[in-house]
């Protein structure tokens, strides 16, 4: 590989540490690549070029001090990355791809952002997404369309669409997204990159604009599993500002994966409920081939069952919308955000601000969530959904008595055409059918590329782990990657 923007994080990190390259060179390569490719893919809502150059120069000074007593570099020092526009970035506009926040400039950094800054990562900019992370295609952004770098008439997946495209198009070496029902794994699968949604509570949600608080989780994307591991270990761990963050030690994931990860003796569970009618033939073939490869590498394959899978989508759309309807109440035009300013009285101000500020999908979910929490409906919907959620979690607990990792397709099909599902919300919701249960159960899950379909579009292999066992997921993914070439195939940005 000759182009700097095509380097993996681990390779760039090695070259930065050895001073073969500078962060400024690496950052300029990414900025140049953004300039060339952005008109085609539309990943970025804002490119923070000036900030990136300044951070790159800072990183180079830190790297120059390597080996001295003042050395404070990390594996991410000088690595250019980008962030979904859901993370609060001090003094950098943060919109959540919504009109209601189109001029919102945060006064503080999300914990994740603060940790990345401290580690010396370089921020290239803020990435497009579905408005308030509600969507599976990135088409619900109020700002712009983002296209799949593999085939520009396809969606990149959502909601963290920009986070996947910027990695797939080599605009950034890595990125962060959030995953509430599949919003990291689905776009990772559609764009052929590695993406991980950690255990609920693994990464702080402080400063991450909330969609559904009991499901939202922050995670990284990168072209390789090892790159994603380096990003994850930088941001994971207890945060006193997030009461739901888990106080458990964070392993050195990249170090633990090492150079020769093995899956010998690993029991991989295959849930029959995830290989059913409606699963695209190319997807099924590629995923089964990947599982076969893992078996060749020494893993044992066991069949498991997750009997409540069929209720996951319905459960999810009750729990997530209920929480969202409450979380989005604060966008009322009073303290910040959009407000027309000619309104007649309080009700009118609320009505006008929210009518103009929110897009159709966000309104649909607010209404749905308000309904399921209403007096007289709470027991039939929300309360019942919480009970089903417990059953889904129990399904996984029982399955994990027989296996260490569960392997499934990430999505039933590859990236669909832009505009093909926008008129049919239910069909759109079904894109997440294979990823949603993982969020309901609070488990770690990841997606890695495992092939291309007949149209040349990437296929994702989903790996699901036990609570806090991200390491086994990463090790399995890395072992698979080491035995194949899928992560090295690049998108060509063609129509």
Are 222 and 231 in contact by the 8 Å Cβ rule? The answer is yes
CB atoms within 10 A of CB 15: 17
Q: Is 485 in the site for other proteins (CB under 8 A)?
A: no
Q: Which is nearer to other proteins, 112 or 290 (CB)?
A: 112
Of 75, 79, 101, 270, the one binding other proteins (CB under 8 A) is 101
**Of these residues, 22, 23, 43, 84, which one is catalytic?**
84
Of 42, 78, 80, 106, the one binding other proteins (CB under 8 A) is 106
**Of these residues, 22, 159, 325, 447, which one is catalytic?**
159
Q: Which is nearer to other proteins, 74 or 327 (CB)?
A: 327
**Of these residues, 8, 137, 163, 183, which one is catalytic?**
183
Site string for other proteins, 65-94 (x = CB under 8 A): ----------------------xx-----x
Q: Is 107 in the site for other proteins (CB under 8 A)?
A: yes
Of 375, 454, 485, 495, the one binding other proteins (CB under 8 A) is 375
Q: Is 346 in the site for other proteins (CB under 8 A)?
A: yes
Total residues at the site for other proteins (CB under 8 A)? 42
Spell out the SS3 assignment of the chain.
Answer: CCCHHHCCHHHHHHHHHCCCCCHHHHHHHHHHHHHHHHHHHCCEEEECHHHHHHHHHHHHHHHHCCCCCCCCCCCCCCCEEEEECCECECCECCCCCCHHHCCCCCCCCCHHHHHHHHHCCEEEEEECCCHHHCCCCCCCCCCCCCCCCCCCCECCCCCCHHHHHHHHCCCCCEEEEEECCCCCHHHHHHHCCEEEECCCCCECCCCECCCCCCCCEEEEEECCHHHHHHHHHHHECCCCCCCCCCCCCCCCHHHHHCCCCCCCCCEEEEEHHHCCCCCCHHHHHHHHHHHHHHHHCCCEEEEECCCCHHHHHHHHHHHHHHHHHHHHHHCCCCCCCCCCCCCCHHHHHHHHHHHHHCCHHHHHHHHHHHHHHCCCCCHHHHHHHHHHHHHHHHHHHHHCCCCCEEEEECCCCCCCECCCCCCCHHHHHHHHCCCHHHHHHCCCEEEEEEEECCCCCEEEEEEEECCCCHHHHHHHHHHHHHCCCHHHCCCCCCC
CB of 364 to other proteins, least distance (A): 17
Stretch in the footprint of other proteins (CB under 8 A) among 162-170, 370-378, 458-466, 467-475 = 370-378
Q: Is 398 in the site for other proteins (CB under 8 A)?
A: no
CB of 357 to other proteins, least distance (A): 13
CB of 370 to other proteins, least distance (A): 7
84 is annotated as an active-site residue: yes
CB of 165 to other proteins, least distance (A): 23
Q: Which is nearer to other proteins, 211 or 486 (CB)?
A: 211
Q: Which is nearer to other proteins, 351 or 425 (CB)?
A: 351
Q: Which is nearer to other proteins, 311 or 350 (CB)?
A: 350
Q: Is 259 in the site for other proteins (CB under 8 A)?
A: no
Contacts of other proteins in 184-243 (CB under 8 A): 205-210, 212-214, 240-243
Site string for other proteins, 305-344 (x = CB under 8 A): -----------------xx-xx--xx-x-xxx--------
Site string for other proteins, 425-454 (x = CB under 8 A): ------------------------------
Choose among 217, 213, 171: nearest CA to 195: 217
Query: Which spans of this chain sit near other proteins (rule: CB under 8 A)?
Result: 87-88, 94, 96, 101, 104, 106-108, 110, 205-210, 212-214, 240-244, 322-323, 325-326, 329-330, 332, 334-336, 346, 350, 370, 373-375, 378, 382
Q: Which active-site residues does the annotation give? A: 84, 159, 183
């Amino acid at each position: 590989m000759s182009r700097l923007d095509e380097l993996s994080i681990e390779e760039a990190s090695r070259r930065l540490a050895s001073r073969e390259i500078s962060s400024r060179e690496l950052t300029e390569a990414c900025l140049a690549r953004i300039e060339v490719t952005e008109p085609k893919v539309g990943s970025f809502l804002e490119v923070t070029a000036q900030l990136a150059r300044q951070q790159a120069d800072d990183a180079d000074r830190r790297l120059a001090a390597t080996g001295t007593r003042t050395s404070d570099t990390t594996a991410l020092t000088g690595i250019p990355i980008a962030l979904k526009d859901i993370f609060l970035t001090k003094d950098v506009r943060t919109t959540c791809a919504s009109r209601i926040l189109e001029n919102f400039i945060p006064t503080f950094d999300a914990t994740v952002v603060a940790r990345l800054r401290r580690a010396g990562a370089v921020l290239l900019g803020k990435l497009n997404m579905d408005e308030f992370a509600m969507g599976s295609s990135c088409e619900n952004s109020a700002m712009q369309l983002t296209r799949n770098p593999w085939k520009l008439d396809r969606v990149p997946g959502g909601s963290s669409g920009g986070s996947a495209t910027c990695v797939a198009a080599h605009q950034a070496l890595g990125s962060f997204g959030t995953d509430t029902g599949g919003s990291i794994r689905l776009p990772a699968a559609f764009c052929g990159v590695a993406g991980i949604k950690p255990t609920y509570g693994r990464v702080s949600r402080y400063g991450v604009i909330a969609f559904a608080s009991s499901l939202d989780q922050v995670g990284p994307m990168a072209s390789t599993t090892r790159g994603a591991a380096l990003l994850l270990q930088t941001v994971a761990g207890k945060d006193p500002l997030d009461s739901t963050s888990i106080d458990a030690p964070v392993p050195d994931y990249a170090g633990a994966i090492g150079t020769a990860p093995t899956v010998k003796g690993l029991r991989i569970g295959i849930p029959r409920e995830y290989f059913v009618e409606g699963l695209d033939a190319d997807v099924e073939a590629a995923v089964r081939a990947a599982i076969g490869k893992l078996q060749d590498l020494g893993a044992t394959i066991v069949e498991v069952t997750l009997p409540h899978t069929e209720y996951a989508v319905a459960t999810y759309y009750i729990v997530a919308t209920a929480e969202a309807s409450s979380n989005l109440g604060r966008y009322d035009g009073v303290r910040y955000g959009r407000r027309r300013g000619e309104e007649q009285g309080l009700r009118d101000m609320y009505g006008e601000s929210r009518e103009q500020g929110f897009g159709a999908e966000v309104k649909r979910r607010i209404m749905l969530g308000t309904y399921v929490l209403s007096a007289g409906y709470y027991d039939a919907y929300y309360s019942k959904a919480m009970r089903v959620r417990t059953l889904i979690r129990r399904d996984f607990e029982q399955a994990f008595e027989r296996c260490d990792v569960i392997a499934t397709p990430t999505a039933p099909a590859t990236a669909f055409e832009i505009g093909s599902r926008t008129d049919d919300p239910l069909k759109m919701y079904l894109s997440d059918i294979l990823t949603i249960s993982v969020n309901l159960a609070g488990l770690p899950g990841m997606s890695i590329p495992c092939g291309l379909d007949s149209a040349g579009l990437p296929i994702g292999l989903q790996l699901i782990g036990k609570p806090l066992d991200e390491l086994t997921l990463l090790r399995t993914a890395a072992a698979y990657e080491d035995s194949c070439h899928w992560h090295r195939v690049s998108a060509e940005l063609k129509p």
